[in-house]
Structure formats: C-alpha cells, structure tokens
Structure 1
C-alpha cells in the first residue's frame, strides 16, 4: 500500500503545482508580451533605430571604406570636405573610415562583454536565490568585494598587467562589470523564490536547474534586459576609456583609440575638432540609444509609466 500512497501523493503535488502555475506562474508568452509594448514605445523604437544604424555602418565598413582604415589618404589635418566628409587626421588618415571601422571593434567588444557580464550576474543571482543560505552567503561576499573595489583603478590595473588586445579587454570588462547587475538580479530572484509556483515546483521534486531556468528566469525577463543594456553601455564606455588612456592594442582601430590619437596629436589645443568629435559623438549616441531602449523597457513593465490617451503621464 505504501507505493500506492506515494504515487497518490506525487499526483496530488503535481496537480497542485500545475494549478498554481496556471493561476500565477510564468507564462510561455512572457517574453513576447514584453516585446510587444517595446515595439509600441517611441523611446524604444528611436533607440533601436539609432543602434541599428550604427550596427549597419559597422557591418558595411568594408564596403563603404574598403582597405586599411589607417592608410594615408589625404593632406594631413585637412578639414571636412567633399573628398573627406569628416576630415583627415594629422597623419593623413580619413576620419570617416576610422569611425566606421572603429565601430566594429567598439560595438563587438562592448556587446560581447556586456552580454557575458550579464550572464555571469544572472548565474550568480539564480544560484544565490535557489541553492541555499551557504551558497548565497559566499556569493554575496564575492559580489560585495567586487562592488567595494574602485571600478576605474581596477580596470586600469588589470588592463596594464594583461597583454594588450581585444581578448584582454573583454576579460577585464567582464570581471569588473558583473557585480552591480548581480546585486539587482539577486534581489529579483529572491523575491521570486518565495512565490507559490516556485515553491510548488520545488515540492514536486523538480531539479534546481529546471526550477531556475523554467520557473524563475521567465519572470525576470524585464530585469535581465535592463541589466544587459546597462552592462553593454558600461562596457562600451569602459573600453573607450581604457583605450583613451593608451591601454589598448597598438595599431587597432576603435573609437577609444581614435580619441587617444586625437589627444596625442593635440587636436583640442589646435582646434582640429573633426578628429575627435565623430568618435566621441558615436559613443554618446550609442549610450543614448541604450538609455532610450531601457526607458522603453521601464514603460513596458511599469504601469505607472504608461501614458494616457490625453498625453499626460
């Protein structure tokens, strides 16, 4: 009779979990329900258009400006003209070519490092929320240590002692960029850990990975997207800052190295604004676009930010 009783208890638990999940648990279309309001948000659409323009320009750089972007193509320090739309550097390099080719490395490293940092933060957050107090305490200590360390000096020290190159920059950005997102995601995961559908899934004997991925993660979609946008924004700015300080790979072309060479050549003191404004403006516009998309995520997930038909908030 004991096996029959155990089977009946398992059936009761399974039916209870299914009922709780239908009433308040994650829905299969949760991500789609987040994307639909984003598509209706003017801020999110404007940010997506700006990002799409930069990504398209980066992908089409070999077509729009074939050859080596650092080659000498005109008179040194020439101002913008029909032959060179954004002018020429003191070394004779076309600024437009440097800006287009610089977008390839800056966006690739920034997007990749931001996504990797968000993934690390998400794993830490889910593990802290679901694997018990001991694991949570250990991961909280590690997270707090990285949060207490000053960000910019840590970036400079790590980049200075690692071999120059995009791989080293990528690792440095991931190591220094995950802690802040982990703290935010951990708070969200902790609040989900005590919900009925997660508790019911644990009672029915589902494994930790299935509970975290199948039950908790779908309900964290908006917070994860916001954390991703923030990490990407920070990674692009940090990479530009490191390369502006001369810690990038020599000979590489990116927005940060463009600013570095413009400062080295004394562009600001001599009034050659066209050598540093395009790369600086590109960094600012990408950050602005990411902020617009993030604002769209807030509007889609926070009913208080929805606009009424009269146009007032």
Structure 2
C-alpha cells in the first residue's frame, strides 16, 4: 500500500538519488572539489556541467561530495532526537504518576533551550566542530517537542479497549508498548523525524553559510558560503548558488512527501480521501473548493454549492 502511494514513491525516488550520491560521491565526482584550474568563474559547459567558481573549482563535484555531509548530519540528528523523544514521551505517557511528572519536567527544560544559538556557541568554542557535533547537539536538544506530543497521544491510547484487553490477557508492559501502542504512533514519530532532519540540514547549511563550522568540509552550505563571500549574485554567477539551493529544497520536499505517504498509510480517513479523489479524477471530475461532486448512476455528475446544501 505504501509503495503504491504516488507521493511516497516520488519522495523515495528523490531521497534514493541523494543517498546514492552520498555513498558514491567521492568516486563519481568528475573532479576533485578542491582542484584549482584556469577556468575561472565559467558558466556551465561540457567540461563543467554546473560551471566553476572563482578559483576554477568544479561546482558539480563540490555538490556531489557535499551531499554526504548533509545526509549524515540529518540522519544522525533525526535518529537521536526521535529515539530520545520516543523513549521519554511513551514512557511518561504509559507509566504515569511520579515518573510522568519527572519526565515531563525534564522535557519542559529542554523545550525552552534555544537550539541554533546553542549550536553556534558550541561550534565557536570548538574550532574543529564538524557536522557530527552539530547533529549530536540537535539530537540532544531537539527531542522535547516530539516527546510532549507522544506523551499526549500515549495518554489517550493507554486506556483504549485493545490495550486493556492486552493487560487482561497477562501481556508484559514492553510487549504492550511495542505491539499495541507504538504502531498507533507511527505517523507522529515519522513527522517528528522528518521535522528534525529538515531542521538539522537547515542548521548545518546556515552554520556553514555564516562561516561558523569549518568551510574546508564540503557541504551545500559551504558552497553557498563561498558564493556569498565572492559576490556570486552581483557577478551573475547563478550556477554557483542555485544548484545548492535546489538540492536543499528537493531534499526537504522528498522527506515531506514520504511523511505524507506514511500519514495516509496509518490514517484510514486520509487514505480513503486520497482514494476517493483519485477515483474522481479518473472519471474526469475535478472537485473545486466550495463544491461537492455528486455522482449518480446513469446520470452526469452534478455539483452542489455550499449555499444550496
């Protein structure tokens, strides 16, 4: 069902391309990203598909090699923050009592910690701080919001009939949490993971763009840093910054589309709505805002306005 969802398929396809670039980047890049040449600030051509920068370095090679750093930071931060959020939020909501109060207080403390300023301070104090440091800081400080949402949902699930039935049959607590509670939290966990990954990617790009993290480590933010410092926009060198910006937007879109696919998979209402919309499109009916299409057997589709209803 998930792989038949067009949104999920598009998101997985885009993410798979970036994953291949991240794994094989150093081997498939046409040039060394640090290799200087005489082709200074050249527009895209057959020799350099995305042009060169002010020292003749190949932009495409920088983009390909820098993909690994971006995905590693996003993945590490997303996994760390999601794991902490699930452990704290589900435990607090399912256990209740003093444990719930304690974990909720800890979540409230981390909830008010400003992530980006903290990352800037740590990166400034550690000149060698790279992408992994940024990812770990985001993971350690970015779990609180997801934990609060998961706690609220777990509180509503722990008294449901199927959970009470599992307790009555003598199921162990860990078995109830893993088999009964967590499957119903899949959409929320996925949304939290996607949000953390996007925030981590944007944070790394931002820190590299303003020169906080080492600019010798290639990522999409490093490309934008050199483009900004050398007035690429004023010099009309669009090929220097547009591809990196498009990659950031495509990665965010891919993760969001995957999240939409997971939402429709676990939410019957969204799934039925999507299937109904696709059925209407196949029949040549295009629903409009404010109108409800009514299809009767043997008769053409009739649209009734909100005022008539």
Q: Which of the five TM-score ranges fits, normalised by the shorter chain?
A: 0.7 to 0.9
- Does residue 310 in structure 1 map to residue 286 in structure 2? no
Q: How far apart, CA to CA, are the structure 2 residues paired with 1:74 and 1:275?
A: 17
Over aligned residue pairs, what C-alpha RMSD do you find? 2.1
Q: How far apart, CA to CA, are the structure 1 residues paired with 2:97 and 2:226?
A: 50
Question: Measured at CA, do residues 299 and 206 of structure 1 come closer, stay the same or move farther in structure 2, by a change above 3 Å?
Answer: closer
Match for residue 213 of structure 2?
Answer: 248
Query: How many residues are aligned here?
Result: 277
- Does residue 285 in structure 1 map to residue 247 in structure 2? no
Q: How far apart, CA to CA, are the structure 2 residues paired with 1:208 and 1:98?
A: 50
CA shift for structure 1 position 250: 3.9
Deviates more, 1:248-257 or 1:195-204: 195-204
Match for residue 105 of structure 1?
Answer: 69
Deviations 1:99-128 (A, max 9, x none): 000001101111221122111111111111
- Match among 53, 67, 80 for residue 89 of structure 1: 53
CA shift for structure 1 position 204: 5.2
The 8 Å contact of residues 80 and 140 in structure 2, kept in 1 or not, is answered as: no
- Does residue 63 in structure 1 map to residue 27 in structure 2? yes
Greater relative contact order (CA < 8 Å, ≥ 6 in sequence): 1
TM-score, normalised with respect to structure 1: 0.81
CA shift for structure 1 position 203: 4.9
The 8 Å contact of residues 80 and 136 in structure 2, kept in 1 or not, is answered as: no
Match for residue 164 of structure 1?
Answer: 129
CA shift for structure 1 position 169: 1.3
Where in structure 2 are the equivalents of 1:1-313 lying within 5 Å?
36=1, 38-65=2-29, 68-162=32-126, 163-203=128-168, 206-302=171-267, 303-304=269-270, 305-308=273-276, 309-311=279-281
Structure (1/2) with the larger helix percentage: 1
Q: How far apart, CA to CA, are the structure 2 residues paired with 1:74 and 1:277?
A: 23
The 8 Å contact of residues 11 and 258 in structure 2, kept in 1 or not, is answered as: yes
The 8 Å contact of residues 54 and 103 in structure 1, kept in 2 or not, is answered as: yes
The 8 Å contact of residues 177 and 235 in structure 1, kept in 2 or not, is answered as: no
Q: How far apart, CA to CA, are the structure 2 residues paired with 1:140 and 1:159?
A: 29
Q: How far apart, CA to CA, are the structure 1 residues paired with 2:104 and 2:124?
A: 28
Q: How far apart, CA to CA, are the structure 1 residues paired with 2:201 and 2:228?
A: 19
CA shift for structure 1 position 207: 4.2
CA shift for structure 1 position 60: 2.5
Deviations 1:225-245 (A, max 9, x none): 222222222211121112212
Q: How far apart, CA to CA, are the structure 2 residues paired with 1:74 and 1:46?
A: 40
The 8 Å contact of residues 173 and 239 in structure 1, kept in 2 or not, is answered as: no
Give unmatched runs, 5+ long, in structure 1.
1-35
TM-score, normalised with respect to structure 2: 0.82
Q: How far apart, CA to CA, are the structure 1 residues paired with 2:261 and 2:38?
A: 43
CA shift for structure 1 position 71: 1.7
Q: How far apart, CA to CA, are the structure 1 residues paired with 2:55 and 2:107?
A: 45
